Amino acid sequence: MIELAAPIIDPFIANTFRIVCLLFVAEVVGVCGIMTNVINILVFRGQGYQDGVNITLTALAVSDIGALISQQIYNLLLIPMIQETDLVILKSHLGVLVIYVNEYFVRVSSLVTSFASVERCVCVVMPLKVKSIITRKVVFTVNVTIFLVLSLYLFPPYFSIYLGLKVIPGWNRTVLSIFYQSYGESVLRLSYNFTDLLLPYGTFLILILSAATIFFQLKAKAKWRQSISSESLQSGKSVAPFKERKSVVMLMTVSIVCVLLVLPKSLMLTVGGVVREMKMDGAYKDITTIVYSFTSLLETINSSITIFIYYRMSTKYRTEFQKFFSVFKK
């Protein structure tokens, strides 16, 4: 008879960490994040959409709200008082359906951020051509396309399952449950290569390359500014690109924060796909539970803190923000 290996971390400790991390900390951060993203949308609307960056950042706020709301719903399912069979569908199975929606919005946010980073990268590299290359129409079209195309992310998992009634003998109840189609495993294995490998890591690569390009370009231009005469500075030929510097640095910061806070979850999912023991039902599920909870919290933080970056690094945003709240002071 084969004996199962004892858990590395006590299951009670792992479950307690998950509840504290997601049900308490992440819920508070998430609620605040939803409110701050609504404020972001209102501020960008007040600024107007003459600048394509505001369109992209509004799209980012919308996707972040979607990610936060879906994560909030998932977190609430961890409430111990809600039993597995208290809902019309098994609680754990509802969590599976919700988490796919959450992962969709997280991927949208990452890709929208990468587009914003590329947009600012073009602004730095080709400052005189950027307005003719990246128009408001182009920006709007790209952002809408990202939302629509990435919705295909939901197709493989939802196509691979169906809902059916399941009798729970111990509870003497019949509830909805997820059942996998005969081809479900093959479809999910095939889609995994794109949705969990190519898409997220490709997005991170774009973010890193764009941030690196922006950094070195700004560094080179800073040296150039120091070498030219004051007469050249007053000529006005190079003023426009430098006015964009704060916006460029702000979006570079958003990109770096996105990589730092979202990459750990992707790495964990990749490890889980390669190492069978690191799956949620594997031998090391206690470690996986703790890592998953912490990386999910990092994603929640990523979707919630952009307002602080905007306020700290954008004079235009700060001015509109203060103008918006001054109305309530009167």
In this predicted model, what pLDDT tens digit does every residue of 250-265 receive, in sequence order?
888 999 999 999 999 9
Residue with tokens 């509109």: 320
- Separation between Cα atoms, residue 81 and residue 38, nearest integer Å: 31
Is residue 4 predicted with pLDDT exceeding 80? no
* Region of residue 236 (left: phi > 0; alpha: psi -120 to 50; beta: else): left
Tell me, what's the pLDDT at 30?
Answer: 96
Q: Contacts from 176-180 at CB under 8 Å and sequence distance 24+?
A: 176/88, 176/89, 176/90, 176/93, 177/89, 177/90, 177/93, 178/90, 178/93, 178/96, 178/97
Give the percent of the chain with pLDDT over 90.
47
Instruction: Calculate the average pLDDT of the chain.
Output: 86
Is residue 217 predicted with pLDDT exceeding 70? yes
How much helix, strand and coil, in percent to the nearest 5, is found in the chain? 75, 5, 20
Between the ranges 160-169, 173-182, 200-209, where is the mean pLDDT highest?
A: 200-209
pLDDT digits (tens, 9 = 90+) for 87-100: 888 888 898 999 99
115 Cα distance to chain centroid: 13
User: Which residues, at least 6 apart from 134, have a Cβ–Cβ distance to it below 8 Å?
Assistant: 52, 119, 122, 123
* Region of residue 37 (left: phi > 0; alpha: psi -120 to 50; beta: else): alpha
Is residue 5 predicted with pLDDT exceeding 70? no
Q: Which tokens in the block code for residue 98? A: 């919700």
Q: Which tokens in the block code for residue 24? A: 């308490």
Q: Which tokens in the block code for residue 295? A: 């990386």
Return the minimum-mean-pLDDT range out of 2-16, 192-206, 272-286: 2-16
Tell me, what's the pLDDT at 82?
Answer: 82
Strand partners, 89: 176
Is residue 329 predicted with pLDDT exceeding 80? no
Closest Cα to residue 46, out of 328, 322, 320? 320
Give the percent of the chain with pLDDT over 70.
90
Report the C-alpha dihedral over residues 199, 205, 206, 207, rounded to 10 degrees. Answer: 110
Residue 90 near residue 204, CB atoms below 8 Å: no
Tell me, what's the pLDDT at 111?
Answer: 96
Tell me, what's the pLDDT at 240?
Answer: 43
Secondary structure letter of residue 282 according to DSSP: S
Average pLDDT over residues 269-281: 79
User: Which residues, at least 6 apart from 40, have a Cβ–Cβ distance to it below 8 Å?
Assistant: 57, 58, 61, 306, 307, 310
Torsion over CA: 318, 320, 325, 330 (sign): positive
- Separation between Cα atoms, residue 141 and residue 195, nearest integer Å: 22
pLDDT digits (tens, 9 = 90+) for 11-59: 788 888 888 999 899 999 999 999 999 999 999 999 999 888 999 999 9
Ranges of beta strands (E only) in the chain are: 161-168, 173-180
Closest Cα to residue 301, out of 269, 252, 261, 263? 261
Residue 204 near residue 302, CB atoms below 8 Å: no
Closest Cα to residue 136, out of 45, 53, 40, 42? 53
pLDDT digits (tens, 9 = 90+) for 99-119: 999 999 999 999 999 999 999
Greatest Cα pair distance, the chain, in angstroms, is: 86
